[in-house]
Structure 1
């Protein structure tokens, strides 16, 4: 580890020493090279995988964007062009930028339904938008991965988890994936609540748009489901990417280098520029705050782009300062841990 970044390491270890963290990985790459690469917690190793919730949204988006880059998908074409029978008059771009008006699965489903890809996609294909597509954003919390992933499957033929493994994770040597094998499931850290009422607080007011968006199918905030083979072995691409921090930091390093990592080009510079450009900036009806959405990520006022996940994991690139950052935690709590680490990192830079 570079001595210049020792304060980041100290801050990370303080989080564990004070009990605010119980298991996590932290990787920072600066000027393309790893300068911080840490894991800590009982049973944690460099190859420990952890569920990172919405940190996976840009990853599934990149699968579809790769097909855009290859000329197989048009961002401004209606979804129904590729998905016959899809009812809502929305474009691929609107789906990618969370403005399609389909933030919640329309039919209440039990936890077991996460294993039924066809059922959930049929629910979405028949759904009516909750607002005029393109007019406003609302994070497509659970639905995003099925909307994007089914487009990948319809155009390419492969399920999105396999597409990710073969087209992105494999070539760029990223330790992350959807629908884990039994062997990879054995590498997973169990998630735990930072506070006993965490899941209730995250769900929000019963019946609210937020509660409908993240509470259906049931079980997505329930440890018994999250730590189960059902959840880890199936594909819920909006929220169940399992990853290492180093894998996520490598992914963003490739994007920050305009689509090339270790000499392997996966995306054109033009695609990366379009994917990281703000497509919508305004109120987000699910997050209940202002948000700048790119094609799959949030762009912050300082020019950084990436995604945080409910529970505290986060990954992004900061083009201005020249780094990529990834934090993957098994303790479901707030983003204050990441905020403190970043403050220290910026002081080092």
Structure 2
């Protein structure tokens, strides 16, 4: 197969192997129609990029082009980076998925949480899917105090019995376990153990030197339902509003520099695919054994399958990732596949059967929490080639 690197008249640039041209065409179509503002897509096969394309604009005024090294807040794609960080410690024998969280973080045992295991945190089944009120967004920028608050509160449902998406606090929970085991913060551990060695331009806690490369987020249209009409004490409302994620604040320095391992990772499709190729290649990348087959197998230990209490959508969770589900992720192929998405539409899929990673990042958010029509179109174009 041939590989082309071109700048097209529709505004896309980058590398695209000839057989994957349907992916480029789909991105060009979305850009031309105004569905996308700016975006990047990367597909790796056996760890090597066969698609690495980008196009559009970084700003709503369409004055600044999306460049090769443009970064964007990819929201919950960050959770997959946090998960791989924890799996590194599992692989080294320093962290046990079936051990009690309190074994590593004694304060976490308070208020009925002594039995919660590490796997419950990674699979969103711990019962601790948010903070007790009152809490403001800026309160979670201080990791230690925010983690201490989580340690002191009671679970909102019986741990291990159902998933309740840990929307904003996932990185505080797992990051604190990593800090107790390793001594480094999540952002530093990730940078020194993964992003740095792999040359991946992805950041959990982004230094100001990178700010001029960040494409500001364009928030989605307002929600079609009135959240104030729902039960304020439901798991869903408490999770999604404690604190409320204010998209207008994601361009502030405080947000960007904080280490929020659930939702404030900054990267692009290339860096996402580079890092996640560790998983799609069964733990081996660049000739290095990053994760053993046993640790990779653990990802596919199903922990929950049913209506998620926080998102009120049917989901299947393994360890650190979602597993294929025809309703919540219709464009994700079946098989030995794990995936996740960021609010607004960013997406990553690791297909271990085909040794493929798909990654997509953009700045114009789509409505909804799980995926988008745009992401589905790119996924179908990609896996239509591979199938």
Task: Give the alignment's TM-score, normalised by structure 1.
Answer: 0.94
Aligned to 2:345: 312
Q: From the superposition, tell whether residues 153 and 230 of structure 1 become closer, same or farther in structure 2 (CA, over 3 Å).
A: same
3-state SS of paired residue (2:66): coil
3-state SS of paired residue (1:176): coil
2:323 is the alignment partner of 1:286: no
Distance 1:306 1:129 in 2: 26
Shift, 1:34, TM fit: 1.3
Aligned to 1:72: 94
Moved more, 167-176 or 154-163: 167-176
Q: Is the 8 A contact 1:29 1:253 kept in 2?
A: yes
Moved more, 263-272 or 292-301: 263-272
Aligned to 2:60: none
Q: Is the 8 A contact 1:199 1:222 kept in 2?
A: no
Aligned to 2:103: 81
Aligned to 1:177: 203
Aligned to 1:331: 364
Higher RCO, 1 vs 2 (CA within 8 Å, ≥6 residues apart): 1
Distance 1:316 1:342 in 2: 9
For residues 123-134 of structure 1, what are the structure 2 equivalents within 5 Å?
123-134=149-160
Shift, 1:201, TM fit: 7.2
Distance 1:136 1:72 in 2: 27
Shift, 1:76, TM fit: 1.4
Cα deviations by residue, 1:271-314 (Å, 9 ceiling, x for unpaired): 11112332222221112122111111001041321211111001
3-state SS of paired residue (2:307): strand
3-state SS of paired residue (2:107): coil
2:44 is the alignment partner of 1:44: no
For residues 3-14 of structure 1, what are the structure 2 equivalents within 5 Å?
3-14=18-29
Q: Is the 8 A contact 1:198 1:333 kept in 2?
A: no
Distance 2:229 2:127 in 1: 19
2:255 is the alignment partner of 1:255: no
99, 112, 119: which one aligns with 2:145: 119
Aligned to 2:187: 161
Aligned to 2:243: 217
Distance 2:313 2:34 in 1: 30
3-state SS of paired residue (2:106): coil
Q: Is the 8 A contact 1:203 1:214 kept in 2?
A: no
Q: From the superposition, tell whether residues 239 and 200 of structure 1 become closer, same or farther in structure 2 (CA, over 3 Å).
A: farther
Cα deviations by residue, 1:131-156 (Å, 9 ceiling, x for unpaired): 11111111111111100000001111
Task: Give the alignment's TM-score, normalised by structure 2.
Answer: 0.85
3-state SS of paired residue (1:177): coil
Shift, 1:210, TM fit: 2.3
Distance 1:192 1:25 in 2: 15
Aligned to 1:17: 32
Distance 1:238 1:327 in 2: 17
Q: From the superposition, tell whether residues 109 and 15 of structure 1 become closer, same or farther in structure 2 (CA, over 3 Å).
A: same
Q: From the superposition, tell whether residues 167 and 199 of structure 1 become closer, same or farther in structure 2 (CA, over 3 Å).
A: farther
Q: From the superposition, tell whether residues 203 and 170 of structure 1 become closer, same or farther in structure 2 (CA, over 3 Å).
A: farther
Shift, 1:200, TM fit: 7.5
3-state SS of paired residue (2:344): coil
Shift, 1:198, TM fit: 4.8
Distance 1:315 1:204 in 2: 33
Equivalent residue pairs, number? 346
Distance 2:353 2:258 in 1: 37
Distance 1:120 1:184 in 2: 26
Shift, 1:238, TM fit: 0.6
Shift, 1:107, TM fit: 3.0
Aligned to 2:50: 35
Consecutive unaligned residues of structure 2, counting only runs of 5 or more, are 1-15, 58-64, 326-333
Q: From the superposition, tell whether residues 311 and 206 of structure 1 become closer, same or farther in structure 2 (CA, over 3 Å).
A: farther
